[in-house]
Structure 1
């Protein structure tokens, strides 16, 4: 009796080997070849993203996501070749993905926003930007969930990408130059053409002031004691603060050297209006 059972087991094992051996062999071959192909695809994707200027840390991360997705498809393919019902696995995976998605809803929104930033590139590393919430600084790193910015005071801002993508982003670097918004006070009795010439001469030869576009100088408005004179030179975004300090100092010295007087707010004094 035992001999008959053993023979039966051997026959069953032999039949299973004959039936499943080709499938197992094919599954192993497809798995090995598929992994090699996926690794090459991921490597090509990382090189392509790096060539397009995507950060060195971000490109491998996105490549790993692509690799994981392709390997999951490969596993399902191999399971199908072996005759395993993958419908149950797909259902479990879908349920798990839904649960994780609900738990990480905010993080997934930042993740999706990070992908949009990478694709459409409203800004890049090194740009000076202002994002919703009046956060201003230079982009140091674009991560998958956050954008890292450094303020002029060297404070590090970690701004969620979801907040960035849902509002207005001001990019000060995309044009290559920005305009200083400076104002000076001029007494009513002073000559504006004279003052304009003094300021124009003072701006000549300054290190950080661009020749093109040309600086703009004009009367901005009037108040009870002074005429508000606007001075609008153009500078490179990286030189914003240095240029501001340089222009203020140079104009102050020029006004002093030419004897330009300024009205003060203490009391009320009537005076004549200059040219």
Structure 2
């Protein structure tokens, strides 16, 4: 008994500090992980990141940190952790290769939700499609096009190309062009266009409506017309101007260009 008692005391004195340190490390580590997870979620909420992704990112961070903590504690007990690290690394590599496309879309979705190049309700052009953002998910963004089609675009395709947020600034300029006969008075055409613009309640009155001569061609004067409006009213203003400028041109006798050619015959 004395022999076994001495061996037990010897082992206790040898391993007790390691066990105590490992337990303290585990308890303190779990508290730090909880604090870091809460801090991440708080930062994401302060940046107005989509609420649906915040718990998901917090869970990923918590799991990763806990795996690292457990490996560290196991090493403090004297357990060889190299094989565990290699196994976890190999499994992670295999999963990453199998899901590399999906993981790329996931990473792109996280970037979109964090940095917010667009939000739900914005009119955007992404991946060659133009439409209103109906929903932003982790893997895809859903657009509703102007002809009421539902387009589901992988987020990886969106972040790999240019993103045009048409309505993100709150106000937008509506660019359009009108052609009149080369014999028409520039001042008269500009007056008619301004009268139509002033009659539209959706056009912003605190910004001037540009009516500019774009170019002069044979028998034609091309005008650029550029009123401003709220982003949500873009198409209403566009179609209002198209219809009512035509009506006013007819009422005021402004002639449309007619293709013509002067031919001189030598005797």
Alignment map for 1:84-233 (pairs within 5 Å): 84-118=79-113, 120-132=115-127, 134-222=128-216, 226-233=220-227
Q: Distance in 1 between matches of 2:223 and 2:194?
A: 12
Offset of residue 91 of structure 1: 0.5
Q: Distance in 1 between matches of 2:181 and 2:31?
A: 78
* Partner SS for 1:84: coil
1:212–1:234 contact (8 Å) kept in structure 2:
no
Offset of residue 166 of structure 1: 2.3
Flag structure 2 segments of 5+ consecutive residues without an equivalent: 263-267
Q: Distance in 1 between matches of 2:32 and 2:231?
A: 45
Could you state the TM-score of these two structures normalised by the residue count of structure 2? 0.81
Q: Please give the per-residue CA displacement for 1:226-257, whole angstroms capped at 9, x wherever unaligned.
A: 43322111222221111112222332332233
Q: Does 1:50 align with 2:45?
A: yes
What count of residue pairs does the alignment treat as equivalent? 262
> For residues 83 and 252 of structure 1, do their structure 2 counterparts lie closer, same or farther at Cα, with a shift above 3 Å needed?
same
What is the aligned partner in structure 2 of residue 244 from structure 1? Answer: 238
Offset of residue 104 of structure 1: 2.0
- Over the aligned positions, Cα root-mean-square deviation in angstroms equals 3.2
Q: Distance in 1 between matches of 2:7 and 2:143?
A: 67
1:138–1:151 contact (8 Å) kept in structure 2:
yes
2:105–2:140 contact (8 Å) kept in structure 1:
yes
What is the aligned partner in structure 2 of residue 37 from structure 1? Answer: 32
> For residues 61 and 225 of structure 1, do their structure 2 counterparts lie closer, same or farther at Cα, with a shift above 3 Å needed?
farther
* Partner SS for 1:157: strand
What is the aligned partner in structure 1 of residue 265 from structure 2? Answer: none
1:184–1:231 contact (8 Å) kept in structure 2:
yes
What is the aligned partner in structure 1 of residue 54 from structure 2? Answer: 59
Could you state the TM-score of these two structures normalised by the residue count of structure 1? 0.79
Q: Distance in 2 between matches of 1:153 and 1:18?
A: 78
Q: Distance in 2 between matches of 1:50 and 1:131?
A: 26
228-237 vs 29-38, greater mean Cα deviation: 29-38
Q: Distance in 2 between matches of 1:225 and 1:8?
A: 117
Q: Please give the per-residue CA displacement for 1:109-146, whole angstroms capped at 9, x wherever unaligned.
A: 333434444555433444322123x2112334443333
Flag structure 1 segments of 5+ consecutive residues without an equivalent: 271-275
Offset of residue 28 of structure 1: 4.9
> For residues 155 and 34 of structure 1, do their structure 2 counterparts lie closer, same or farther at Cα, with a shift above 3 Å needed?
farther
* Partner SS for 1:130: strand
What is the aligned partner in structure 2 of residue 273 from structure 1? Answer: none
67-76 vs 38-47, greater mean Cα deviation: 38-47
